[in-house]
Structure 1
Amino acid sequence: MNRNPAIHWIISDRQRLQTVVTLLVLLLMIAAFSFLNPRFLTLTNFQNVARNTAPLIISASAMTVVMIARGLDLSVGSVLAASSVVAATLAVQGVPLPLAFLAAILLGCLIGFANGAIIVKMRVSPIIVTLGALNIARGLAYLITPSAILVGLPRNWGSIGTSSIGPFPMPILLAVLVVAIYAFVTRRTKFGKHIYAVGGNEEAARLSGVNVERTLITLYVLSGAMAALAGLVLSTRVGSGDPNIGVGFELEVIAAVIIGGTSLSGGEGRILGTVIGAVIVGVLSNGLNLSGVEPFWQYVAQGVVLIAAVVVDKRVNEGVLRMGARA
């Protein structure tokens, strides 16, 4: 039986098929919310979605490569909060913003390094280690600003979150830059090949000469750094240092990565798919807000979408295996 070449090209590759499916889901969501609320399909609203989704895309890009290497980082939401609070505290005390921002990024790198080193050197589950780091980083944020939101920040505090270069808001430009770097690294560099090798079979990667420990630690350091950058984007946009920001952020990041087609078993994933997954999460939240849905129901909707994505991931894997067996 003759197959349509375009359809065969799509279904012949698991990642390609997953990307097409998630893109169709995104388009259906846009169509549905546009029908429910005319304000959804406006340039202003799309700009708001892009700005709100930028921190998610930044952190999810780093989470993608961690999960490709069969890892997981549950601490990103708390690292986001702790890093932004550190930057805000230093800015209030008169430290120049570049140094305050650098301190925030370094804190994220430090927490990421601790996560990676413990996971790799002590052979502890990444779920346990990063769950502990989640509590430590959140506690650090509250210790720095106990039950208080930092205000009185310098005028140029919003230089990242609210400024623009020409018609392009800075958060969107940063997200595009991070995506471009991660896409290039994963697809065009030796280090990117090492990431997929570690996720596919860690022992085989080690025997083939890959420095598995260094690769994994580097990925966790970058995850912490990107969580810190996401925190700076978010906190400079809202104009305050709040230890409560980022609660549940790690679940949104993981949801975006899984919806985007990164395999839970490691070894497979694409940055483009993660971007689409992050936009789906952002569109879902924005559309439900415009439709007047209560925030608590939004959590329910996000949970349903995440479970559905896992089910689709499993079905796609089974379908690819069946096609491989027939071939």
Structure 2
Amino acid sequence: MTTTSNPGLEDTSTLRVPRRSVGQSLLSSGTVLALVVLIIFFFAMRPDVFLSFTNVRNILYQVAILAIIAGAQTLVMVVGDFDLSVAATSALAGATSAALMLGGTPTGVAILAGLAVGLLVGLVNGLLIAYLNLSAFVATLATLTSVTGLAYLVTQGTTLFNLPADFNNLGQGRILQIPLPVFFAIGVLVVLWFVLKYTTLGRRWYATGGNVEVSRLSGVNVRRARLLAFTVAGVVSAFGGILLAARLGSASAVQGSDNLLFSVAAVFLGMTVVRSGAANIVGTVVGVAIIGVMSNGLNILGVNSYVQQVVTGLIIIAAVTLSSLKTRER
């Protein structure tokens, strides 16, 4: 006697969602887990210092500018590109504002001029990449070189200081004992998060980064989307540079140059936080937190600065590797 199977049961089994492996689960939560492990480790090593209010405030203060620059880097990586000029743009913007203020220009006008510099650099990047079809790596590398040269011209190869007190207060002032740059960073990141998550422009940026050809066929103006991403990134980077000059009370041509590598590492680390494996603001914040906690913890433990550079390089390698694995999972 032949036994027939029940088609209904077979259909139900095929619709069953496959369970995620332990490796996939760890990959998705690995970045957040790494942050928690770092916090626990440094707290265990220095429980009297690490989680004190003063030290937590110092960590937030240290990473505020990096968070802004990383936010700019996130935008261009959302559309599938890359910007090597974010740190150089921030330095030029800070130097431009500082030079104008030392020349007698009112603080507000000097800040707007610095932001305009960032907008111009971002616009040039966008035109080169979106409309002239240059590689993002080549185009922004060229921009990095040119912008750094311009920053040296603006500063005449020196450090500009004796900036106005009202300008310095933007980077050194406090509200409820929390440094102002922390509030500025939170504000910038919240705006970027909202734009990426809830606006048509944000959806177009993600669509462009996901598949350029499909986006074009769907009616998205891909060139304009990429142009806008680089332009906004330039303005955000400039704001970070101006804030850094206010925080330090000075400006130079290479100020904040480390923020380029740190921003890249933060974005790549953040890409593992979401299942899609795409660049995202929440993940970038987690990546920035990891870098800030690690740097602060190693300083508290008295680790040599050269060793910290080695650790930073390893973090970048790990970030890129995790991001690649996440892409394969998709």
The TM-score normalised by the length of structure 1 is 0.89
Which of 34, 53, 65 is 2:63 aligned to?
A: 53
Which of 35, 40, 49 is 1:31 aligned to?
A: 40
Which of 145, 149, 162 is 2:155 aligned to?
A: 145
> For 1:103-122, what aligned pairs fall within 5 Å after superposition?
103-122=113-132
CA distance in 1: counterparts of 2:284 and 2:228, whole angstroms: 20
Whether the aligned pair in 1 keeps the contact of 2:119 and 2:231 (CA below 8 Å) is yes
CA distance in 2: counterparts of 1:316 and 1:128, whole angstroms: 26
In the alignment, what sits opposite 1:254?
264
CA distance in 1: counterparts of 2:257 and 2:95, whole angstroms: 14
1:200 partnered with 2:210: yes
CA distance in 2: counterparts of 1:176 and 1:152, whole angstroms: 28
Deviation at 1:11, TM superposition (A): 7.7
Which of 299, 313, 316 is 2:323 aligned to?
A: 313
Which of 154, 157, 167 is 2:164 aligned to?
A: 154
CA distance in 2: counterparts of 1:151 and 1:309, whole angstroms: 37
The TM-score normalised by the length of structure 2 is 0.88
In the alignment, what sits opposite 1:244?
254
Change (3 A) 1:276 1:11: farther
Whether the aligned pair in 2 keeps the contact of 1:186 and 1:193 (CA below 8 Å) is yes
**Partner secondary structure for residue 172 of structure 2:** coil
CA distance in 2: counterparts of 1:239 and 1:218, whole angstroms: 31
Whether the aligned pair in 1 keeps the contact of 2:265 and 2:287 (CA below 8 Å) is yes
1:20 partnered with 2:59: no
**Partner secondary structure for residue 171 of structure 2:** coil
In the alignment, what sits opposite 2:139?
129
CA distance in 2: counterparts of 1:242 and 1:65, whole angstroms: 26
Change (3 A) 1:116 1:262: farther
Deviation at 1:167, TM superposition (A): 4.0
The residue type paired with residue 172 of structure 1 is V
CA distance in 1: counterparts of 2:131 and 2:272, whole angstroms: 26
In the alignment, what sits opposite 1:85?
95
The residue type paired with residue 92 of structure 1 is L
RMSD: 2.1
1:96 partnered with 2:106: yes
The residue type paired with residue 27 of structure 1 is V
Segment of structure 1 superposing worse, 18-27 or 52-61: 18-27
In the alignment, what sits opposite 1:277?
287
Deviation at 1:182, TM superposition (A): 1.2
Change (3 A) 1:205 1:22: same
Percent identity over paired residues: 36
Whether the aligned pair in 2 keeps the contact of 1:64 and 1:262 (CA below 8 Å) is no
1:76 partnered with 2:76: no
Q: Deviations over 1:270-305 (max 9, x none)?
A: 210100001111111111111112222211111101
CA distance in 2: counterparts of 1:239 and 1:174, whole angstroms: 17
The residue type paired with residue 31 of structure 1 is I
Deviation at 1:262, TM superposition (A): 6.2
Structure 1 runs (4+) greater than 4 angstroms displaced: 16-19
The residue type paired with residue 180 of structure 2 is M
Whether the aligned pair in 2 keeps the contact of 1:19 and 1:261 (CA below 8 Å) is no
CA distance in 2: counterparts of 1:49 and 1:168, whole angstroms: 11
Instruction: Structure 1: state its 5+ residue gaps.
Output: 1-7, 322-327
Change (3 A) 1:17 1:121: farther
Whether the aligned pair in 2 keeps the contact of 1:84 and 1:232 (CA below 8 Å) is yes
The residue type paired with residue 32 of structure 2 is L
Q: Kindly tell me the number of residue pairs found equivalent between the two proteins.
A: 308
